[in-house]
Amino acid sequence: MNTAPVVPSSDKKPAASPGRQIRFMHGLAVATFVISICFAAVGAFAQRFDRNRDGGGGGGDLTTLDPGPRVGFTATGNPTYPNNPGDPVAGLTVEQLAFFANGSSQFTEVEGVALTSPGNGGLGPAYNNDSCGGCHSQPSTGGSSPSTSAFPNVGPNPQFTAGQVANGTNTIPFFVTADGPVREARFKSDGGVHDLFTIQGRTDTPSTNNCTMTQPDFAAEAARGNLTFRIPTPVFGDGLIENISEDTIMANLAASASPQLGIAGVPNRSGNDGSITRFGWKAQNKSLIIFAGEAYNVEMGITNELFPTERGYPSSPVPASCLVNPTPEDRTIFEATTPVSVSSDVDAFAEFMRFLDQPIPACTGTGCSPQIQSGAATFVAVGCARCHTPSLTTSISDTAPGLSQVRANLFSDLALHHMGANLADGITQGNAGPDQFRTAPLWGVGQRVFFLHDGRTSNLYRAIEEHAGPGSEANRVTDNYNQLSRQDKQNLILFLRSL
C-alpha cells in the first residue's frame, strides 16, 4: 500500500500553479518550482547531517555518514508521487507524447500467462516478475528496486508479495525479502539468468495445459558458490545515453585515464558490428530496443520479435507442457487502427525509456549548501570523477529537441572497469570479464535505496568501501577517500545524496 511520505516543513512543496500541473511542459513555472525545492532541500540536508555528526575526525560509526534517500520531489521533477513516471524530455510532438503515455502504461501493466488478445503479453514459462514497472519503481516509474521504508515508500518488493507467487507452486527464494532489492539470479557455471518463478500451478494458465516446471534449487547453488545477483538499473535519461556518440565516449576515456590512479576504462563492444554497447550492468546491450526486448524475454518470459524463443533455464529445454502460447507473444499488431496500438510492447517500452528525462538534482552550483559544494569538489579531487564523469553531451538528434546536444549529467563514462575480486560476479558478457562493470550512472542516486550490481548495501559509505579489493581500478581512489577527515567524507556523501 502506498503511503504519502512525512515531509519536514522545510521540504514541503508550495501549492502547484496551473502551469506546474501540466506534466509534459518545461516552462518558467517548473523552473521556479525546482529552484524553491532546491533551497528547501539544502536546509533539510543540513539538519539531517547535523544529527549524524560525532564531532569530526575519522572515528565513530561511519555508516551514519549516509542519511539515506532524500525526501522531496521524485525522479525527473514530476510533483505527483509516488510511483508515477517523471517528465519526458522537452520538445516532444503531440504524437510522441501519446507514445510516451502509452509506453508508460505498458511499462506498468501486470501480465498474466494466458493471452488476452493476439500479440498481447503471455507470462512465462519462467519469470522474475510480472511487470516492468514493478521492478523499476523507486522513486517513481523508471527507477530501481522499490522500498517500503524509504521515501517515497513505493514498496514492498514485488517478488516477495503474496500476489506474485500465490497462484502457483512457487516458493520465495531465500535472497528475496519484503524490503530488500528486486534480484535477478545468475549461475556462474553457465553465466545465464535462472528465473525465480515458474508458471506451474498458476490459475491463469490455460486449463488445457498442465505445466510441470520446478524452480531451481537456489540454496544448493549458493552452497556451491555458484550464485550471483543483479538488481534493476534505473532507466531515467536512457534516451540521452543512447544519443551520446562513440567519439564522445572515446575522447572522454582518453582524457580521464590516470596511470597514477590505476584507472584505464575500456568500452564494451558488439561482437557483430564492433559498435560501443552501453546499457546494463556490464554495458552488454547496444540500444534501448535490444535492452527492452531482452528484458521482456529474460525477466518476464515473454517472447517478442527480437527474442522469439520461449526460454526456461539455460541448458534446460522448456517442458512441452509449459509451452502454452503461440509465439512471439508480443508482436506488432497489424489489425490495429492507430499507430500507438500498432506498436509491440517492446517498441512501447523503448520509446518510454527514450523519452524519459534525466533526474533533477536537489540543487546545483552555488545554489547548494557549502557542504554540498565542498563535497562536489572533493568528489573530483579524490578521483571519483575519473570514472563517474559528471556530464557528456549528446549528439544532434532529429527525433526530439530534448535529445539533441543536451548536457547529460549522468556521472558515468559508460565504460568497463576492473572492480576486483570483491565485486567480481564471475560473469562474462561481450568484452566484459568476470570483474568488469560499466561505471554506474549516479544521476538520481540521491533517492536510490540499493547499491552495487547485487544490491548488497543500502548505505553509500559501504558502497564506496566495497569498491576496494584485489585488482580493483578504484583502490587508490578509495584510499584517497579513506584519508579524508570525517567531515569531508560526510560532505562527499551529502553531495551524492543531492544528485
Beta carbons within 8 Å of 101's beta carbon, 6+ residues apart: none
Residue 368 confidence (pLDDT) above 90: yes
pLDDT at 207: 65
Q: 251-266 burial string, b = 16+ CB within 10 Å, else e?
A: ebbeebbeeebbbebb
User: d(Cα 213, Cα 147) in Å, to the nearest integer?
Assistant: 30
End-to-end CA distance of the chain: 27
Residue 219 confidence (pLDDT) above 90: yes
pLDDT at 367: 96
3-state helix, strand, coil in the chain (%, to 5): 35, 10, 60
pLDDT at 385: 98
Query: Residue 35: which pLDDT band, with cuts at 50, 70 and 90?
Result: very low
Q: 38 vs 314, which has greater pLDDT?
A: 314
pLDDT tens, residue by residue, 398-418: 999 999 999 999 999 999 999
pLDDT tens, residue by residue, 92-150: 999 999 999 999 999 999 998 888 776 677 888 999 999 999 999 999 999 999 999 88
pLDDT tens, residue by residue, 376-406: 999 999 999 999 999 999 999 999 999 999 9
Q: For residue 81, give the DSSP letter.
A: -
Query: Residue 339: which pLDDT band, with cuts at 50, 70 and 90?
Result: confident
Residue 243 confidence (pLDDT) above 90: yes
Residue 163 confidence (pLDDT) above 90: no
User: d(Cα 270, Cα 279) in Å, to the nearest integer?
Assistant: 12
Q: Supply φ then ψ for residue 10, to 5 degrees.
A: -70, -15
Strand partners, 127: 197
- Centre a 10 Å sphere on the Cβ of residue 206 and count the other Cβ atoms it contains: 12
User: d(Cα 135, Cα 150) in Å, to the nearest integer?
Assistant: 15
Q: 14 vs 240, which has greater pLDDT?
A: 240
Question: In whole angstroms, how far apart are CA 355 and each of 93, 118, 180, 325?
Answer: 11, 27, 29, 32
Q: Supply φ then ψ for residue 406, to 5 degrees.
A: -100, 140
pLDDT at 152: 85
Q: Supply φ then ψ for residue 186, to 5 degrees.
A: -120, 150
Cis peptide preceding 326, ω within 30 of 0: no
